[in-house]
Each structure stands twice: as C-alpha cells, then as structure tokens.
Structure 1
Amino acid sequence: MSPITTTIIITSLATGTVITSTSYHWLMAWIGLEMNTLSIIPIISKRHHPRATEAATKYFLTQAAASALILFSSTINAWKSGTWDITQMTDTTSNILLTSALAMKLGMAPMHFWLPEVLQGSTMKTALIITTWQKLAPMALMTLTANNLSMTTLILMGILSAMVGGWGGLNQTQTRKLMAYSSIAHLGWMATISTMMTNIMVLNLFMYLAMTTSMFFMLILSKSNTIQDTATAWTTSPTTTLMMMLTLLSLGGLPPLTGFIPKWLILEELTMQNMTPTATILALSSLLSLYFYLRIAYTTTLTTSPNTTPTKHKWRFKPTPTTTPLTLALPLSLFMLPITPLILS
C-alpha cells in the first residue's frame, strides 16, 4: 500500500472516531461510525490472503448491521420525541435497540462471534487497532447515552461477556484469539458498571487500552502468534519476557499491578448497590480469564524451550523495531495502582 493511501486511510480512521466522539446529533455520529468502518476494511484486507478477505467481510457485515440498528433506533426516537439529540434518548424500544447495536459494535456477548475470527484473520498490528482504537467511538456513544440505556440488558450482556470471555479463551492456542476473548471479558466489566458510574467505566477503558497496547506490542516484538511461540520469546529479549508476564498478570487483575484498579472499584460499587450476586459472578469469571493469562505467562517465563543449537538467539535476524509506544504503555499498564486515590479525586 502506497504511503499516500496509508495516510488517507489512517486519517479517515482517526477522523471517524473523533466525529462520533464529539457529535451530539445522531446523523453525525452515524457518519463518523461509517467512516471508521470503511477505513479499516482495506487495512484488514491488505494482506492478500483468503483469511484476511474473510475477516474483512465478516467485520464489514457486522459493523454495517450495527450501524443500521443505531440509525434505526435513533430514527424511532426522533419520530417519538422530535429530537435527534444523542443525550435525549427517551423511547424504551430505541434504547434497547441502541444497547444491542453498541454491544454488536464492541463485540460483547452474545454478539461476540465475529471478534475472534476477525482478529485471527488480521495481522498483529491490525488486531491491535481493532481491539483498541475501534472501541473508542462506540464507548463514547455508550458514555453519552449511559443514563438512558437499558440497564437490565447491559448488566445481562456484561455478565455474559465476562463469562464467555473467560470460557472462550480456555480452549485457544492463538495469541490473537486469546486477546479477543480478553477484550470480550473486559468489555463485560465496562458494560456492567456503565449505567451506575460512567467515570469508572472510562477509567476501566483507559486501563484496558494501556494494557492491551503494551501486550500487543510485545507480541509483535517477539513475533509470537501462538502460545508455543512465546516459549522462545526469551531469545529475542529477556526483559520483554519479564514485562510480558507482568502485563499478563495485570490484565488478569492481580494486585499490586494496574489491572487491579478497575476490578476493585467495580466490585466495590456493585456491592454498594446491593448487587452482590452480579459482583460474585464477575469475580469468578475473571478467574477463568486469569487461568489463560497464567498459561501464557508460564510458557513465556517459567519454561525453557529445547535448545538443539549452541546459540541462544533466534535463527532469523530481524530489523530492530521501534519500541517507543511500548515504553509509554508499559508503565501505565503496570505501576498505576499506588496513585488510585489521585485518579479518583
């Protein structure tokens, strides 16, 4: 792909997200979402491979259906209330439709089937964009409409997503699919808290973006497409393998790492709202996710792969990739727990 084409596509991708995040009119929000979707289709299908084409098709169909649902729900609301304002969603039917559409956009259960397949058909860098940047526009809409969305639907979807994200990841050996199920589980936590405390949801989103970005950059750096590949990651960079283990534990939500903050705050808020069964299910489902994070951490740092040659390095020489984004994302994904009071204030 030529530099000019790449620049246009990346700019359109960014512009679409910004338009959706900053608009208060449903048509403008829909236009932003469409720009966003149409920009990432060539990025997914750039690798001329049947899997990439299949992934691009699945992504397009899912996102187009979700965008149509958003337009349909906003039209019904405008018909009933006479306003296209995003914050004035008063019709119950529109709210349930909008909740379902946003869940489909994000890849929450039970509309999650496309996410692991699309990530598996994409390159690591494209998978990084889909799991981080592509979540911003729907989450912005969820934040704007949080007071009006169907609370029961969101909590049920949140619980289901957390459970599916845990169970689905147990049977996987591909790191991209594992990160997809990790994304589904984290979105479940965000959806559960979204109608009660929007600021905790935004904090959770920020933490998730930092942890997922650093994890993907380390997988790209060590060229680890499967769990078996992570066993030889130490030959690329011993420091990276240690950081990978800590990031995985942070994704699992273990103290004293950053990933503990959102889970701690969400469980605290749910128990204060007398939703102890929901909090219990979420906490138990996070144990499932923690299991497959620990599995990667174990193969990465606690096993030594069989060495048939005297050399300690991978046989193929690679150009040294840039690690600036990784150095920015890693401290955020590991060391932010001590400043939790500062974040909350």
Structure 2
Amino acid sequence: MYYLFNSNKMFFLFILFFSTMISISSNSWFGCWIGLEINLLSFIPLISKSNNLLTSEASLKYFLTQSIASMNFLFSILLKMILMKNFEMNNFISIMINSSLLMKMGSTPFHFWFPNISEGLSWFNNFILMTWQKITPLILMSYYLNFNFLYFIIIMNVMVGAIGGLNQTSLRKLMAFSSINNLGWMIFTLLISENLWMFYFLTYSILISIMFFLFYNLNMFFINQLFINNMNFMIKMNLLINFMSLSGLPPFLGFLPKWIVINFLMMNKFYLLTFIMIMSSLITTYFYIRIIYSSFMFNYFKMKWFKIYFKNKLMNFINFFSLISITGMIMSTFLFM
C-alpha cells in the first residue's frame, strides 16, 4: 500500500512497466538495450531506502551486475553488426547475447548476485524482481536462441535452484533459489513455444504473488518465525496449497505447465533431462514441506491465547486463488481429454 500513496514510487513503477514495453516492442537491438537501461534506472529508486543499509547495499549490487550485463549485451550487438557476414562467429555471438540476458535475470552460472540482493529487498520488490524483471530478458532471448547452450543452462538452473535452497533459513533467499529453479523450466517452455512460456509465467506469477502477500501480512522473513505463530487455520491451508502448487505436485495447478513440459520431453526422447528436472522438483518440494511442517507442527503452548487473523478483504482473493490451485488439475484433465 506504501506505493499507492507515494507519487515518486508510483512514477518509477510506471516507468518500470513502460520500459519493458519499449524493449519487447522494439524492432532493433539498440531499442531493446535502451529499454533495458531505462528499466534498470527505474528499478533502483524503487528498491533503495536511505535509512536502510541492507537495501542500499542491494541496490548498489543490483546496479553493478546489471551494468556489466548491459555492457556485455551492447558489445555483443555491436559485434553482431560488424560481423554480420561471418557465419562462424554467429554461434559465439548468440552465446554472448544469451549470457548477458541470463545474467540480467539471475540465471545460473551468473546467479550469485540474485539471492544476496533478494535478501535486502521488501516482499513487493522481491515480487517485481522475480516476475516482471524476467519478462524482457526472456523475450529478447527468444529472438536469438542458442539451443545447445541453453540445454546446459537449464540443467544447471534446476540443479542449483534445488540444491541451493536446502540449507537456507531465510524465506527470501529460499524463494530466490526457488525462482532460479523455476527459471530453468521457464527457459525450456520458451524453447517449446512462447504461448506455453506465457502460461507457465502467469501461473508462477500468481502463485508467488499469493505467497509473498501472505509473508508480507504475517511480517515473516525467516523459517523459525513460523514456529511460534498460532495462525488462523485458513492461512496455514493457503500456505500449504500454494507451496505445494509451486513445487508442482499433481493435484495442484502448478503441476499443469510442468506436465506439458514433461510430456514434450518424453515425446522427444529427452530422458536424462526429464529425470534431472523431476528430481530437482522433488528437492524443492522437500524444502517447501520443511516450511509447512514447521508452521503446522510447532505451536508454543504459551502462545495459545494469541491468534493471527487477517483483517483484510484480500484474504477472499487468496482463498479464491487457492481454490483454483486445487481444482487446476481437474480443469486441466478436461483440456487433455
């Protein structure tokens, strides 16, 4: 709600959305680069707060990494213009462009800035970082895909995202590694079709928006904060449903886009890739269950008088989306009949 009553933040938020439109509707690489630069310069004022050292550090780190990626991207497109006729260099230039875009969205092996920066941001800024900020690089990458390079990146993403989240106690870092894992799936949906990517991205955005809204309202940033909370049963159920949906368990909506990807992988005989992606999803399910287990099982007896409820009309929307999440697979079976 802070953004709605702050004209500066609203202005930069508008510029952030507008810059994405510039990039994805541009008909030249330079136009795309300009859109990315405007995007970077509008996101930094959103995340920096003068009174908080952690957010100031996060905004500086974000600026440095994004600037390096932008320089790399600009260098690559200039190289492409100069060596237009040289087909041997084409493969190298496509890897360069893909790498700079992967660095922009915090993909492996350029992911080291991503969890650190997410740790210094609020839940709303984390939501922008993990959803909206990925749109431009993914769409630009779809113009110039290097399939062999991206298969390797997908495997690294799903493995690093799954293993990196295992020893985390911070919910923000945990969601950052979850985002890296989902980015692997997202890149693969982009290789299959853009419509499937849009469906996966929309599903993922809805699920993490609900998660982040719950965490923001409960003022939670670490797993151990869930131990001492006597939350309302419906809040616990929403957490459970949305975490399970995010991990891609079959009765939930989050499994549907993953099911389509697995179906495509099996039809095209990518057996090893299928195995790696499913195993990584199981690991992410494990660390989601660890969070849910703590909130369900641990209730301190001295807190019994203290119950957490939401006095917020948005809770009805969360209940509605959780219902969609449960019935998602029932609806999807009709699609495949």
TM-score between both structures, scaled by the size of structure 2: 0.90
Give 1:37 deviation, angstroms: 1.0
Mapped pair 1:113 → 2:112: yes
CA gap 1:8/1:327 in 2 versus in 1, 3 angstroms? farther
Please state whether the residue corresponding to 2:165 is helix, strand or coil.
Answer: helix
| Deviation digits for residues 136-159 of structure 1 (CA, Å, limit 9, x no counterpart) | 11122133x1xx411111111111
Alignment partner of 2:222 out of 208, 220, 226: 226
For 1:242, the aligned partner's letter is: M
Whether the aligned pair in 1 keeps the contact of 2:165 and 2:177 (CA below 8 Å) is: yes
Residue in structure 1 matched with residue 298 of structure 2 by the alignment: 304
Q: Which residue identity does 2:299 align to in structure 1?
A: S
The separation in 2 between residues aligned to 1:256 and 1:239, in whole angstroms, is 19
Whether 1:340 and 2:335 are equivalent positions in the alignment is no
Contact 1:169 1:181 in 2 (8 A): yes
**SS, match of residue 340 in structure 1:** helix
Give the drift of 1:331: 4.9
**Hey, what's the Cα distance between the residues in 1 that align with 2:224 and 2:152?**
35
Determine if the alignment matches structure 1 residue 128 to structure 2 residue 131.
Answer: no
The alpha carbon displacement at 1:255 in A equals: 1.1
1:269 counterpart = 2:269: no
- Measure, in 2, the Cα distance between the counterparts of 1:331 and 1:33: 37
Identify if the C-alpha distance between structure 1 residues 165 and 65 changes in structure 2 by more than 3 Å, giving closer, same or farther: same
Alignment of 1:19-30 (within 5 A): 19-30=22-33
Q: Does 1:186 align with 2:189?
A: no
For 1:202, the equivalent position in structure 2 comes to 198
SS in 2 for 1:335: helix
**2:327 partner amino acid:** F
Gaps of 5+ in 2: none
- The equivalent position to 1:8 in structure 2, one of 8, 11, 15, is 11
Q: Cα gap change, 1:331/1:28 in structure 2, threshold over 3 Å: closer, same or farther?
A: farther
Q: Quote the Cα distance in structure 1 between the aligned partners of 2:141 and 2:225.
A: 37
Within 2, Cα distance between the matches of 1:69 and 1:135? Answer: 18
Verify the 8 A CA contact 1:173 1:227 in the aligned structure 2.
Answer: yes
Residue identity opposite 2:198 in structure 1: V
Alpha-carbon shift at residue 171 of structure 1 (Å) = 0.2
The amino acid across from 2:35 in the alignment is G
- Do the aligned residues in 1 keep the contact of 2:104 with 2:137 (CA within 8 Å)? yes
Contact 2:157 2:181 in 1 (8 A): yes
**Could you list the per-position Cα deviations for residues 111-133 of structure 1 after superposition, in whole angstroms to 9, with x for gaps in the alignment?**
11111100101112211111111
Is residue 12–residue 36 contact of structure 1 (8 Å, CA) maintained in 2?
Answer: yes
1:73 equivalent in structure 2: 76
Structure 2 letter corresponding to 1:97 = M
Unaligned runs of 5+ in 1: 83-89
- Residue type at the aligned position of 1:45: S
Q: How many residue pairs align between the two structures?
A: 331
TM-score, with structure 1 as normaliser: 0.88
Deviation at 1:198, TM superposition (A): 3.2
Q: 2:39 maps to which residue?
A: 36
Task: Compute the displacement of 1:325 (Å).
Answer: 6.5
Displacement after TM superposition at 1:78 (Å): 2.1
2 CA distance for matches of 1:24 and 1:254? 40
Give the structure 2 partner of residue 138 of structure 1: 137
Cα distance between partner residues in 2 of 1:262 and 1:195: 14
Q: State whether residues 213 and 329 of structure 1, in contact with CA within 8 Å, keep that contact through their aligned partners in structure 2.
A: no
Secondary structure of 1:81's aligned partner: coil
1:59 correspondence with 2:62:
yes
Per the alignment, do residues 55 and 79 of structure 1 end up closer, same or farther by CA in structure 2, a change over 3 Å counting? same
Q: For residue 327 of structure 1, report the CA deviation from its aligned partner.
A: 5.7
* Counterpart residue number, 2:147: 151
Deviates more, 1:68-77 or 1:251-260: 68-77
Alpha-carbon shift at residue 266 of structure 1 (Å): 1.1
Counterparts of 1:70 and 1:198, CA distance in 2: 22
String of CA shifts for 1:28-57, please: whole Å, max 9, x gaps: 111111111111112211262221111111
Note closer, same or farther for the CA distance 1:223–1:328 as it changes in structure 2 (3 Å cut): same
CA apart distance, 1:232: 4.1
Separation of aligned partners in 2, 1:240 and 1:56: 32
Q: Which amino acid aligns with 1:105?
A: K
Partner deviation per Cα, 1:273-301 (whole Å, 9 max, x = no partner): 22111111111111111110111111122
Structure 1 residues 334 and 13: CA distance shift in structure 2, 3 A:
farther
Aligned Cα root-mean-square deviation (Å): 2.5
Report the secondary structure of 1:305's partner residue.
coil
Assess if the C-alpha contact under 8 Å between 2:65 and 2:104 holds in 1. Answer: yes
Contact 2:189 2:200 in 1 (8 A): no
Q: Structure 1 vs Structure 2: percent identity of aligned residues?
A: 32
